[in-house]
C-alpha cells in the first residue's frame, strides 16, 4: 500500500479548506470511498489507514456557509453512511512522550476554543491508554486557563491516536447524538443476561436515530433468534412477535408479551402482518433478499407500519453501491430513510425508515 501523508501542519492550513478525518469500521474503508464517489465526487481520498480515512475537500466547497466554525454539514456524514464520526483536521503531532505531543497539540490549536476533549483510537487494538492522555490534555488546558466550556460553537477537540507516537488533532461540532460519543463509538453496557449482541445494536440504533417507540406498540422482527433485539424491544414495553425458524432463548420465548412464529418470513401469510407499528429485520441473507421480503409486506398501502429498522448484511462490501437503490425502494413505499453503519454491528448497515405521512 502506498500511503501518502498530506501536509497539514497548522491551523491556518485547515482554515483554507483541506482535510476531513473520517473514522469508520475496519474493512469499511472501500465502502466509504464508494459512497464518497457517489455523494461527493469532488472530495479526494488522501491518507488512509485501517479505521481512518482522510478526504481533501476542495476550497470552493468550503466557502459554503454550512462549513463555517469548523463544522462538517450533517448531510456529509449522513451520505457517507460508513462514517462513524467526522472531524476537521488541524494536523498531526508527534513526539517521544505524551508530554511532547501535548505541547505539540497546543501549537496546532492556536486560538480555537472547544467545549470538551475526545481521545480515541483509530484502531481499538492499539495498546495506548486513552484515559491517561485525556487527563494530560485537559489538565494542560486548565493550567493555561483555557476554559473548555466557553465555546459558542460547541466544538469538541479530537485527539485520534494513529500510532503509539502519532496523534491526529482535529475538531468537530457536537450537533448529532453520535458526535457526543468519543470516536462515534457507542459505549452503553449490555444487560447482564444478554442474549445476543443484537441487544446493543438495537440500543445504539435507538440512541443514534432517536427512535421513539411508544409503550404498547406492536413490533414484528424477521430473523429474531436467539432474541437479543426482542429483549430490547420487550424492555421498551412493546408487544413483540419474532419470526424465525430457529429457536428463541427461553428468557424471551416465555415472556408474556412475546410470540414466536417459528417459520421463514416468506411462509407467513401477508394478512398476519396487519396491525404492526414497527417491522425489524435482521436476517442473515443478502440485502436484496431482505428488500424483497420487506416489499412483499410493504407494497400494500393498507399494511404500512410507521417505521422499519432493517439490518442489511453486506457480505460483499461493493454492494455499498446499491444503498441508493435500496433507499429508493423504501421511498416508493412511502418512507423516509436514514442509513448508517453502526459502531456495534458487523459488516452491515442499518436503515431506519419512517413513514412520510402518518
Ligand X SMILES: C[S@@+](CC[C@H](N)C(=O)[O-])C[C@H]1O[C@@H](n2cnc3c(N)ncnc32)[C@H](O)[C@@H]1O
Residues that bind ligand X (CB under 6 A): 196, 198, 222-229, 243-246, 264-265, 282-285
Q: Which is nearer to ligand X, 259 or 284 (CB)?
A: 284
Q: How many CA atoms lie within 13 A of 327 on its CB side?
A: 17
Please report how close the Cβ of residue 151 comes to ligand X at its closest, in angstroms.
Answer: 40
Q: Distance (Å, rounded) from C-alpha 177 to C-alpha 174?
A: 8
Please report how close the Cβ of residue 247 comes to ligand X at its closest, in angstroms.
Answer: 9
Q: Which is nearer to ligand X, 264 or 355 (CB)?
A: 264
What the block records as the C-alpha cell of 28 is 469499511
Q: Distance (Å, rounded) from C-alpha 297 to C-alpha 163?
A: 49
Please report how close the Cβ of residue 346 comes to ligand X at its closest, in angstroms.
Answer: 9
Q: Which is nearer to ligand X, 284 or 315 (CB)?
A: 284
Q: Which is nearer to ligand X, 57 or 352 (CB)?
A: 352
Q: Which is nearer to ligand X, 162 or 282 (CB)?
A: 282
For every residue of 262-319, DSSP letters joined together read: -S-GGGS-GGGGTT-SEEEE--SS-HHHHHHHHHHHHTSTTS--SEEEEEEE-SSGGG
Please report how close the Cβ of residue 284 comes to ligand X at its closest, in angstroms.
Answer: 4
Please report how close the Cβ of residue 325 comes to ligand X at its closest, in angstroms.
Answer: 21
Q: Distance (Å, rounded) from C-alpha 339 to C-alpha 329?
A: 13
Residue whose grid cell is 454550512: 66
Please report how close the Cβ of residue 41 comes to ligand X at its closest, in angstroms.
Answer: 34
Strands 116-121 and 85-94, by their bridges, are unpaired
| Number of C-beta neighbours around residue 274 at 10 A | 12
Q: Which is nearer to ligand X, 52 or 293 (CB)?
A: 293
Residue whose grid cell is 452491515: 348
Amino acid at each position: 500500500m502506498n500511503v501518502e501523508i498530506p501536509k497539514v501542519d497548522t491551523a491556518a492550513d485547515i482554515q483554507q479548506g483541506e482535510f476531513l478525518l473520517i473514522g469508520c469500521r475496519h474493512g469499511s474503508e472501500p465502502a466509504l470511498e464508494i459512497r464518497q464517489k457517489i455523494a461527493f465526487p469532488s472530495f479526494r481520498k488522501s491518507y488512509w489507514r485501517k479505521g481512518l480515512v482522510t478526504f481533501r475537500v476542495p476550497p470552493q466547497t468550503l466557502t459554503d456557509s454550512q462549513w463555517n466554525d469548523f463544522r462538517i454539514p450533517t448531510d456529509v456524514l449522513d451520505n457517507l453512511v460508513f462514517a462513524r464520526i467526522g472531524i476537521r483536521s488541524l494536523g498531526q503531532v508527534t513526539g517521544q512522550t505524551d508530554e511532547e505531543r501535548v505541547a505539540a497539540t497546543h501549537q496546532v490549536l492556536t486560538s480555537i476554543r472547544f467545549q470538551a476533549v475526545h481521545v480515541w483510537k483509530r484502531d481499538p487494538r492499539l495498546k495506548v491508554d486513552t484515559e491517561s492522555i485525556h487527563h494530560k490534555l485537559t489538565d494542560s488546558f486548565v493550567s493555561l486557563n483555557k476554559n473548555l466550556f466557553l465555546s459558542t460553537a460547541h466544538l469538541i477537540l479530537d485527539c485520534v491516536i494513529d500510532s503509539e507516537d502519532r496523534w491526529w488533532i482535529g475538531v468537530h461540532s457536537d450537533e448529532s447524538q453520535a458526535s457526543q460519543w468519543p470516536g462515534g463509538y457507542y459505549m452503553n453496557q449490555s444487560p447482564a443476561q444478554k442474549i445476543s449482541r443484537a441487544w446493543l445494536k438495537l440500543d445504539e440504533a435507538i440512541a443514534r436515530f432517536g427512535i421513539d417507540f411508544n409503550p404498547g406498540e406492536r413490533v414484528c422482527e424477521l430473523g429474531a433468534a436467539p432474541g437479543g433485539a426482542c429483549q430490547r424491544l420487550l424492555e421498551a414495553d412493546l408487544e413483540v412477535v419474532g419470526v424465525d425458524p430457529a429457536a428463541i432463548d427461553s428468557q424471551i420465548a416465555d415472556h408474556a408479551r412475546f410470540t414466536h412464529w417459528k417459520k421463514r418470513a416468506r411462509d407467513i401469510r401477508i394478512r398476519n402482518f396487519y396491525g404492526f407499528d414497527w417491522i425489524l429485520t435482521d436476517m442473515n441473507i443478502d440485502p436484496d433478499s431482505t428488500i424483497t421480503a420487506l416489499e412483499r409486506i410493504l407494497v400494500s398501502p393498507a399494511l404500512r407500519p410507521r417505521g422499519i429498522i432493517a439490518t442489511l448484511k453486506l457480505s460483499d462490501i461493493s454492494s455499498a453501491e446499491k444503498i441508493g437503490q435500496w433507499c429508493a425502494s423504501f421511498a416508493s413505499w412511502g418512507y423516509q430513510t436514514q442509513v448508517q453503519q453502526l459502531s456495534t454491528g458487523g459488516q452491515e448497515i442499518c436503515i431506519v425508515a419512517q413513514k412520510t405521512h402518518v
